[in-house]
């Protein structure tokens, strides 16, 4: 996993390639609208992908949506390339589960 901290310009450029993801300090976040049991299945698939790449999101499951929050914990809770790679993986998995954009 790449733990090199990204400068603000690089973070902005990478976010532009991931519609729906937003920066909140040193994290990126996105919510997907999906009913509870579908959200559980989505989380299980994301967890499998996270295990393979050795990088994990903080996940918040609610009855009608799932929120992912990503930062590189072992790089001082800062943003690295690994965060954006995981975000792209989550987007693909969410699309496969037909999760919709969710605006909290």
CATH (domain of 24): 3.30.1360.20
Smallest Cα–Cα separation from 83: which of 33, 24, 42?
24
Distance CA 64, CA 22 (A): 20
- Stretch (H or E) spanning 8: helix 8-16
Domain assignment present for 3: no
Domain assignment present for 47: yes
Q: What is the pLDDT of residues 33-70, one digit of tens each?
A: 999 999 999 999 999 999 999 999 999 999 999 999 99
Count: domains in the chain = 1
Domain assignment present for 2: no
Domain assignment present for 12: yes
Q: What is the pLDDT of residues 23-43, one digit of tens each?
A: 999 999 999 999 999 999 999
Alpha-carbon dihedral sign for residues 48, 90, 55, 39: negative
Q: Which domain holds residue 78?
A: 8-101
Domain assignment present for 1: no
Domain assignment present for 24: yes
Domain assignment present for 72: yes
Burial degree of 96 (CB within 10 A; 0-12, 13-18, 19+)? exposed
- Residue pair 80/3 in contact by the 8 Å Cβ criterion: yes
Domain assignment present for 19: yes
pLDDT at 6 over 90: yes
């Amino acid at each position: 996993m790449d733990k090199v901290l990204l400068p603000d310009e690089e973070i902005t450029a990478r976010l532009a390639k991931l519609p729906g993801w937003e920066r909140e300090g040193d994290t990126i976040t996105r919510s997907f609208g999906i009913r509870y049991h579908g959200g559980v299945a989505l989380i299980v698939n994301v967890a499998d992908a996270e295990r393979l790449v050795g990088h994990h999101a903080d996940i918040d499951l609610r009855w009608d949506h799932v929120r992912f929050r990503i930062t590189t914990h072992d790089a001082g809770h800062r943003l690295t390339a690994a965060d954006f790679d995981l975000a792209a993986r989550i987007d693909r998995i969410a699309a496969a589960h037909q999760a919709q954009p969710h605006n909290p």
